[in-house]
Amino acid sequence: MTDGGSKVADMAEPDTDDAALSYEQARDELIDVVRRLEAGGVTLEESLALWERGEELAKVCAGRLAGARARLDQALKEEAEAEAGDGGE
């Protein structure tokens, strides 16, 4: 189980590339982390490392969703303003 332990340690280290992850990449890795935690069979330290990695990935996902929501809100606002301008003519 040595490979699994080193894999967990790698996942737990803060990744400077997290900001470069797409929503889908972060979500897929988060799903993997959750599955591994639910399956059990890892040490307490490995579980904590997985949990911490999951928290980081959840932050990435939340940030991407917030950004997407802001873009959608802006597009809807612009559309509403354009329709309001057209309605006055």
How is the chain split into domains, by residue range? Answer: 2-87
Q: Model's pTM, two decimal places? A: 0.72
**Which pLDDT score, from 0 to 100, does residue 87 have?**
65
**Residue whose entry in the numeric block shows the structure tokens 């059990």:** 40
Rounded to whole angstroms, how far apart are CA atoms 49 and 55? 10
Collapse the DSSP code of 42 into the 3-class scheme (helix H, G, I; strand E, B; otherwise coil) and give the result: coil
CA 21 to chain centre: 8
The rounded average pLDDT for each run of 10 residues, N- to C-terminus, in the chain (89 residues) is: 45 64 97 97 97 97 97 95 77
Q: Regarding the domain delimited by 2-87, which CATH topology (the fold level of the hierarchy) does it fall under?
A: Helix Hairpins (1.10.287)
CA 72 to chain centre: 19
